[in-house]
Every structure is written in structure tokens, then in C-alpha cells.
Amino acid sequence: MNTALRASTLRHAYVRFALALSPVPVVVWLVWRGQPLAAALLFCTVLTTMTIGTLVPRCALFGRMIKRLPQAGDQALLTIDDGPHPVHTPAILDILDRHRIKALFFLVGDRAAQHPELVRDILARGHEIGNHTQTHPAGTFWMLRPARLWREIAGCQETLAALCPGQPPRFFRPPAGHHNLVTSLIARSLGLRMMMWSARGFDGVLTDVPAITRRIALRLKPGAIVLIHEGTPVAVEVAEAVTSLLAASGLTCEPPASLAFRDDEVVVERRAAP
């Protein structure tokens, strides 16, 4: 990866962090001036803002993100996180073929390197791959320093681009959707757009397939981006139920590569997401 690009991006990232910490001296000064209530108010305001922007997946406070499809009409997009999986990926690909649905697979770099044939099979069947970090540090990703964030995102991009040089990822999704104030900056510098979702059933933590499907059905509408996972105890069952739901909904799931996201459309999505 371009070392000059890395250095420039990390420099801007640390500047962002420094600016985010700039209220700290003001808080200290207010305490010193004998205004603890004002200091507490400022501290709580900054902390709340940072927490919401970091831990609420669809909050675009720290950068643009895609939360719905740009086109009007009857399209939806199925996205599948956390693969490839040696058992689930082949089964899910067969299910998608049967329902004639194309999906966007957000892959983990280390897992892709272990199963390169599955990555190529995903693309050969008309689907698209996305960047889901190199090691998927779901519990800590939001608190990683810029240099480690760069390694996670750039490392996955390098891994997937090496496996499929003609079809490198266009989109990035952070683990669990958690991101901090420099995640979008780093993704954008690597030519990636951060994509979240508008319909999910929490299949990463729940195992009740009908309940998962009902949750997705409630938010399934034109322009929806649907999220399901591989690597869970019910991954294949959820994939079957959700693809059946999509097939019966009348919505079309075209190849993700046919979706052209322009800069102005991403801005509209940021404002208009439900």
C-alpha cells in the first residue's frame, strides 16, 4: 500500500483526534475558575456526542455513509457479513442461486486468505465482495488508534485485491457497525465507501429464525439494505428465510456492481435515511 498515502491519512487522522480532545483544557480551566457545573456540562456534552457517533452504527456524525440504495423503484440489496465460511458460504451461494438473488458479501481478510476458492466462487456467481476488516475485532474496533485502524482496513483491501485483482472491494463495513471519528477518513482514502444497513434481524445474537425474519420484514421496503451474517448457529436457516422473504416481496436484488453510487446520492442518503 502507498506509504505516502498512509502517512498523509494518518496525519489527518491524528489532527482529528487532537481537535476532538480540544475541549479538555477548557474543562480544566472551568474547574480552575470555580465553575464545576459548566465544566461538567461541557464534559458530558462532548462525551455523549462521541459515544453516539461511535456506537450508533447508522449515525453519520463522523462521516458520510450509505444507509439506503440511491435508486428509486423496487430494488433492495442483501448484504452478508463475516465470511467466507467453509460450510455456510457454499450453502448460502446455492440458496441465492435458487432464488436468483445477487448479494454483497462483506468478507474478513484473514478468513478470505484461508478460503480463497470461496472468494472467487462468490464473484464467479455474480455477487460482489466488500471490506469487513482484516481480523474483525468486533469488540474493540471503535477504540483502535488510527495506525491500527489503517492496518485493519488497508490489510483487508490488500488481501481481497490480491485474491481478485479485477474486482477489488468498493465498500467497507466496520465490525458491528461501530466506528470512530477517523474510520470514514481512512476508508475514503483507500477508495472505499462506508455502507451500513436499513433492515436487520440481529441474527448475530439471536437464534429464533422466525423472529429474525419478522424484524427484517418490518423494515423491508424499496431501497432497503438488508443485513444477515455467516458464522452463526442459524446462518443457513436465516439465509433461506430472508431470501424467500425477498423473493416474495416483489423487490429485485440485482448484482451490486450495477448500483452506481455518486457523491451527491451518498449525501442525499445521509439526510434521508429513516
Catalytic residue among 12, 74, 81, 263: 81
- Rounded alpha-carbon distances, angstroms, from residue 251 to 106, 217, 263: 21, 12, 25
Q: What confidence tens digit (pLDDT) does each residue in 148-167 have? A: 999 999 999 999 999 999 89
Contact 228/71 with Cβ under 8 angstroms? no
What span, in angstroms and rounded, lies between the C-alpha atoms of 104 and 7? 31
Q: What confidence tens digit (pLDDT) does each residue in 59-117 have? A: 888 999 999 987 767 899 999 999 999 999 999 999 999 999 999 999 999 999 999 99
What span, in angstroms and rounded, lies between the C-alpha atoms of 41 and 64? 28
**Which residues, including other chains, have CB under 8 Å from residue 88's CB and lie 6 or more apart?**
230, 231, 235, 236, 239
**Average pLDDT value for residue range 110-126:** 97
Given a cut of 50, whether residue 28 has pLDDT beyond it is: yes
What span, in angstroms and rounded, lies between the C-alpha atoms of 213 and 47? 35
Share of the chain above pLDDT 90, in %: 74
Given a cut of 50, whether residue 219 has pLDDT beyond it is: yes
Q: What confidence tens digit (pLDDT) does each residue in 55-64 have? A: 888 888 899 9
**Which fold would CATH assign to domain 77-272?**
TIM Barrel (3.20.20)
pLDDT band per the 50, 70, 90 thresholds, residue 260: low
Pairing outcome for strands 77-83 and 103-107: parallel
Share of the chain above pLDDT 70, in %: 93
Mean pLDDT of the chain: 90
Catalytic residue among 132, 136, 179, 229: 229
Of 159, 93, 85, 154, residue with least CA distance to 128: 93
Does the global pTM surpass 0.75? yes
E strand map for the chain: 77-83, 103-107, 128-131, 171-172, 193-194, 199-200, 225-229
Predicted local confidence at residue 1, as pLDDT: 61
CB atoms within 10 A of CB 10: 19
Domain ranges across the chain: 77-272
Give the bridge partners for 228, in sequence order: 80
Q: Is the peptide bond before 210 cis (omega within 30 degrees of 0)?
A: no
**Which residues, including other chains, have CB under 8 Å from residue 18's CB and lie 6 or more apart?**
none
For residue 81, indicate whether it is catalytic. Answer: yes
Report phi then psi at 42, rounded to 5.
Answer: -65, -45
What span, in angstroms and rounded, lies between the C-alpha atoms of 24 and 18? 10
Given a cut of 50, whether residue 271 has pLDDT beyond it is: no
Q: Print burial letters for 178-192: b (CB count within 10 Å at least 16), e (below 16).
A: bbbbbbbbbbebbeb
